[in-house]
Structure 1
């Protein structure tokens, strides 16, 4: 029987619950994801072997003996090699020293498959930090995890690749929710990724690159977009680099599970050691780049192993890598030989942006998540009086050089590379409370847009959650319509219709998934209740037939316990039903909101004054007049007027407040009198 996505999700998250708290910080995600992937590889190997044997028996018209099957299993063709002695059955047959055996098996699989190098980074036999010699993860815990994962077959016979891929993404999202602020290192909210991907529209033949790829979500979303358009995902080619080995391993697993032929490099900084280079040693060029780089990295110019050095050593290193003209980049991305200055040492935002630009082909495009500071940080060159005078009585003038970030931003605009900027709501990213934006760059822009930049103010539309904010389906639609219309009102009705249909389908699918997820989560209580009902009926029948007090007391006690269990199970199912109802209400609200926003957008583009509060196509000449400052409130009316209140309503509220005050004073006076005080 095929596992549903929701059953698989519940099963995988159950494994996470076994290990949580037994490793350092959030490292447990790497253990769970790697174990799940290892089980998948082993199960699929067995499935492929079984299929091959069945086909051979059919071709030869005979049934093989167990010994013959063993020979054929070893010789069979497999997507990945699992060396003998390192299969799931070998681990399952062990009861002691499981951590060492599991680590050895995973490393053997990794070594046997070039595509899986670097996938298994965890050490199940790592020692505890107290020096006791005991493993950090006790043998009993590893055994419990192995037994848990053994519950289900994870091969294609039981789990389709699409279901497994979606369940893996769900698990990464759950880990991100659990990790809180640290999740930003490996996870970008899918709504943001979806917005970027749909703006850039990956096509067959594209080379897609993420220089800080984390868990690989942006690459996977590009592949999904291609499949949605009826293409094979691998009609494009995918590349990524990730400094953190553990996150890169998650990304590699993610790409394999999504049947994506992605090349992901790990362990080095994209800035100091870009992995993808051409024959001349310069950075390789790609047609499409997406990135969510670390915001405002203070030490972007240091290799990972150097970032742990003390302040004195970092200062010395800084003197070595920065000259009078800034960072000495051996890959020609900024500084001498390019129109761009080297980024300042104090923040790495423009280092990543310039790396992305250097990584684009002549007609490439990029979508980058940035802190909004890149839009306005840095002063232009200025002249100002010092307050002193020369010998002729003329005021002395002090000339201040333009800041590096201002000059880089000016160069980007002068080169007509900035196509659009979208400001995002606060707190939509894990651990990044600073205001963020989406920066859309294009090497070759349509002639009609060459002297323009689209600025979209999307910061006021979001769903407020307990820990962070979330972009809703209608919020994503707003951004996409603004960008794809690019100020052309005639295009809006068709864009609204296109995105409305797709987003309604997304909402329907999400509602179905959430309901099925809740059904899977509470399935145990359903089974419990189904088991209890006949037992209660049986005991009630017995009770009715008994006459002695002692016999009745015994049955009544048992009945009381069973009814208590029934009531608790019933309460749990009522809880489930309320959550399902809430999920359906939210989906219906979102469907209604998408329809409303569609009508709102069509009306908005018929009212230029109102449109100025949301989006505006700005001429480069106006941006020059504003000293190349791209801060969106300079161009878009972001002012939020106070809601109007009628005079009659205000007077009624004032009268009500006065009456409440009089009543409160009367109550206080009465209370004081009762305890002996006189007013």
Structure 2
């Protein structure tokens, strides 16, 4: 019997609960994800061997002995090699030094498969920091994890590959929720990734690149989009670079589980040491780039090993690295020979943007998550009074040079590379409280869009969660219709019809998944309640037959205790049912909203004044008049008017307030008189 996605998710998160709090910080995610993947590789190896042996037995019309099976098992062809002595059964058979055993087995698998190099980065035998010589993760905890994972087979025989891939993504999302602010290092909310992917529409033959790969979500969503269009996931090629080894390992596992042949480089900065180069040693070009880089990285120009807490060292390196011309770049991304200035040392945003631009083919396109500061930071060149005067009393004027970020933005706009900008709601990203936007770049743009930029204000619409905000499917639909219509009202009806149908299916699937997930999560409580209900009924029936007082009192006491246990189990089921009802209510609201948003978009594109509050196609000439400032409120009416109040309503509210005030004064005076306050006379 195959595991459902929800059963698998519950099983995997149960493993996380075993390890939580027993490693340093949020590192436990790397342990759980790597252990899950190792178990999957081992189980699939065994499954492939079993299938191959069964096929040989069928072809030869006879069964093999266990000795013969062992020979065929060792010789069989497998997708990945699992060396003898490093299989799951070997780990399961060990009883002591389990951390060393597991680490050794994982490293052996990694060394035996070129594609899996760098996947297993954790050390299960890492010593505790107190110098005691004991392992950080106790032998008992590793044993509990191994036993937990051993309860389910993770091969294709029990878990479909797409189910395992989705469960892995769910697990990453759960770890991101648990990590809070630190999650931004490895996780971009899937709604944001989906928006970027659907704007840029990956195609067969694309080379897709993420320069700050994290957990690989950009690549996986691109592959899902291709599959949705009826194409094979590997009809495109996938590349990523990730500075953090642990995050890169998560991304590699993610790509393998989703069937992607992805090239993911790790351990070096994309800016200082880009991994993908052509035969001439220059940056490799890609047709599609998707990225969510670290916002406003203060030391983007330093290699990872140089980014210490020693400020003096940073200052020294800064002087060595930055000259009059700025950062010395060997790859033609900024500085001499390009129209772009080197980004300032204080903000790394444009360093990543210019790296992405330099990594695009002549027909390439890019979708980048950016802080909104890139839209307006930096001043144009201005003339300023110095505060001094010449002999005739005329003020001295000095010319203030334009800031570097202004010059870069100006060059991007004058080169007609910015196709669209979409502002996002606050607090959509983990740990990033600054306003964010999506920047869409295209090397080649159609003639009708060549001298224009689409600006979309999408910050109004979101779902407010306890710790952050979330783009709902209907909010993504709004953005996609604005971007794909690009101001053309005739396109809107077809776009609304296309996206609303797909999004309804997405909402239905999400509702089903949430309900199934809750059923899996509370499955033990369901079984327990049924058992306790039966036991309570049985005890009550027995109680009716008891005559002796002493025996009856003991039976009644046991029944009360049993009923208390039953009530606790019933409370858990009530909790589950409330969560299910909430999931259904949310889905109903979203389905209604999809229809409402469709009608709203149709009305907006029939009313130019209303459309200006949401999206606008702006001429470059107007942007130039604004000193190449792209701050969206300069062009789109983001003002939120106060709700209209009728005068009669306002007068009624005022009269009620005055009445409440007089009543309160009367009550206060009465209390003061009763207390005999000397300033109050008693009538």
> d(CA) in 2 for partners of 1:659 and 1:394?
65
Find the counterpart in structure 2 of residue 54 from structure 1: 54
Find the counterpart in structure 1 of residue 331 from structure 2: 331
Moved over 6 A (4+): none
> Which secondary structure state, in structure 2, belongs to the residue aligned with residue 315 of structure 1?
helix
Shift of 1:387: 3.1
> Which secondary structure state, in structure 1, belongs to the residue aligned with residue 544 of structure 2?
helix
Alignment of 1:295-310 (within 5 A): 295-308=295-308, 310=310
Find the counterpart in structure 2 of residue 645 from structure 1: 645
- Cα deviations across residues 487-519 of structure 1 (Å, max 9, x unaligned)? 000000100011100100000000000000111
Aligned residues: 679
> Which range moves more in the overlay, 366-375 or 550-559?
550-559
Shift of 1:675: 5.0
Find the counterpart in structure 1 of residue 555 from structure 2: 555
> d(CA) in 1 for partners of 2:53 and 2:46?
11
> Which secondary structure state, in structure 2, belongs to the residue aligned with residue 664 of structure 1?
helix
Find the counterpart in structure 1 of residue 24 from structure 2: 24
Against the structure 1 CA distance between its residues 61 and 376, is the aligned structure 2 distance closer, same or farther, given a 3 Å change threshold? same
Find the counterpart in structure 2 of residue 248 from structure 1: 248
Find the counterpart in structure 2 of residue 192 from structure 1: 192
Aligned alpha-carbon RMSD (Å): 1.1
Find the counterpart in structure 2 of residue 265 from structure 1: 265
> d(CA) in 1 for partners of 2:190 and 2:90?
38
Shift of 1:584: 0.4
Shift of 1:143: 0.4
- Cα deviations across residues 539-582 of structure 1 (Å, max 9, x unaligned)? 12211111101111121122112111111111111111111111
Find the counterpart in structure 2 of residue 617 from structure 1: 617
Alignment of 1:94-133 (within 5 A): 94-133=94-133
Alignment of 1:492-503 (within 5 A): 492-503=492-503
> d(CA) in 2 for partners of 1:128 and 1:569?
39
> d(CA) in 2 for partners of 1:170 and 1:39?
18
Find the counterpart in structure 2 of residue 145 from structure 1: 145
- Cα deviations across residues 424-449 of structure 1 (Å, max 9, x unaligned)? 11111000001110000000001110
Find the counterpart in structure 2 of residue 366 from structure 1: 366
Normalization by structure 2: what TM-score? Answer: 0.98
> Which secondary structure state, in structure 1, belongs to the residue aligned with residue 23 of structure 2?
coil
Alignment of 1:32-181 (within 5 A): 32-181=32-181
> Which range moves more in the overlay, 665-674 or 165-174?
665-674
Shift of 1:388: 2.5
> d(CA) in 2 for partners of 1:31 and 1:312?
36
> d(CA) in 1 for partners of 2:654 and 2:108?
77
Find the counterpart in structure 1 of residue 567 from structure 2: 567
Alignment of 1:516-665 (within 5 A): 516-665=516-665
> d(CA) in 2 for partners of 1:654 and 1:622?
46
> d(CA) in 2 for partners of 1:98 and 1:140?
9
Matched, 1:468 2:459: no
Find the counterpart in structure 2 of residue 223 from structure 1: 223
Alignment of 1:415-454 (within 5 A): 415-454=415-454
> Which range moves more in the overlay, 552-561 or 451-460?
552-561
Shift of 1:658: 2.4
- Cα deviations across residues 383-411 of structure 1 (Å, max 9, x unaligned)? 12223233565432201111111111111
Find the counterpart in structure 1 of residue 410 from structure 2: 410
Find the counterpart in structure 1 of residue 510 from structure 2: 510
Shift of 1:474: 1.4
Shift of 1:677: 4.5
> d(CA) in 2 for partners of 1:670 and 1:159?
76
> Which secondary structure state, in structure 1, belongs to the residue aligned with residue 434 of structure 2?
coil
> Which secondary structure state, in structure 2, belongs to the residue aligned with residue 24 of structure 1?
coil
Segments of 5+ residues of structure 1 without an aligned counterpart are: none
Shift of 1:464: 1.3
Normalization by structure 1: what TM-score? Answer: 0.99
> d(CA) in 2 for partners of 1:108 and 1:428?
40
> d(CA) in 2 for partners of 1:526 and 1:376?
56
